Structure 1
Amino acid sequence: MKIRIKGNTIRFRLTKSEVQRLCSTGHIEDKTEFLNQDFVYAVELSKEHDTQSVSFHDNKIICYLPYNIGHDWYNTNEVGFENVQKLTKNKTLFILVEKDFTCLDNRLEDQSDNYPNPKSTEA
């Protein structure tokens, strides 16, 4: 799983096996290890949340995806889910959870578990 954060936008990108694991177990997480502590990021299917939302506590970001829209995601062509979470009167957080497509240009990273890019001439 990859995350991209820019300002008040957070984007979670999941490979095929990660989407499958999320659908079967209801939770997926990864971490970045620092010298003194870890930064953890997770996506979780939730029956308690009726909209997509994010929480941040103890160096851990959790994106809650409503169970009813995410439980069968692996078996659909749905690319992803997005929501705008209102934080305060003047602040919002844009949240995107999506399938990770292979890049169109050559990358050094392993992309063997990524979804085929629909813009690729080989797709």
Structure 2
Amino acid sequence: MKLRIKDASVRLRLDKVDLDTLNEKGKVETVTPFWNRMLKYAVRTTTSVSHLSATFENERIMLYIPESYLAEMIETDKVGFDHVQKNEDGTQLSILIEKDFKCLTPRNEDESNAFPNPQEGHSC
């Protein structure tokens, strides 16, 4: 699972194993160590909302995805979903959850569980 945060936006990329785990267990989580602290982030399926949502509780970024969205990502070519969340303080948070595709240029990164890139083999 990859997390990207920029200003008031959060983007999460899920590989095949992440989607399978989310489908089977209802939650996928990871931890990034920083010295003596941990950055925790997770995705959990839900039936209580009809769109993506996010919270920050107990030092964990938690994103919620409706079960129907997850099913569509698994069963179809749907790449992902986005939503702009209006926070209680009047601010907004842009949320994007999408499939993690293999990069078109080689990287020093294990991409064995990434989805095939739809642009692979195409020329400009």
Decide: shared fold, TM above 0.5: yes
2:17 matched to which residue of 1? 17
Amino acid at match of 1:55: T
Q: For 1:116 and 1:28, locate their aligned partners in 2 and report how far apart those are by CA, in whole Å.
A: 21
2:103 matched to which residue of 1? 103
Q: For 2:103 and 2:72, locate their aligned partners in 1 and report how far apart those are by CA, in whole Å.
A: 25
- C-alpha displacement of 1:74: 1.8
Query: SS of the residue aligned with 1:13?
Result: strand
How well do the aligned residues superpose, as a CA RMSD in angstroms? 1.6
Q: For 1:38 and 1:97, locate their aligned partners in 2 and report how far apart those are by CA, in whole Å.
A: 22
Query: SS of the residue aligned with 2:13?
Result: strand
TM-score after normalising by structure 1:
0.91
What count of residue pairs does the alignment treat as equivalent? 122
1:26 matched to which residue of 2? 26
Indicate conservation of the 8 Å contact 2:104/2:120, yes or no. yes
Amino acid at match of 1:66: P
- C-alpha displacement of 1:88: 4.8
Q: For 1:72 and 1:104, locate their aligned partners in 2 and report how far apart those are by CA, in whole Å.
A: 25
1:69 matched to which residue of 2? 69
TM-score after normalising by structure 2:
0.90
Identical residues among aligned pairs (%) = 38
Moved more, 105-114 or 31-40: 31-40
- The answer to whether structure 1 residue 59 and structure 2 residue 59 are counterparts is yes
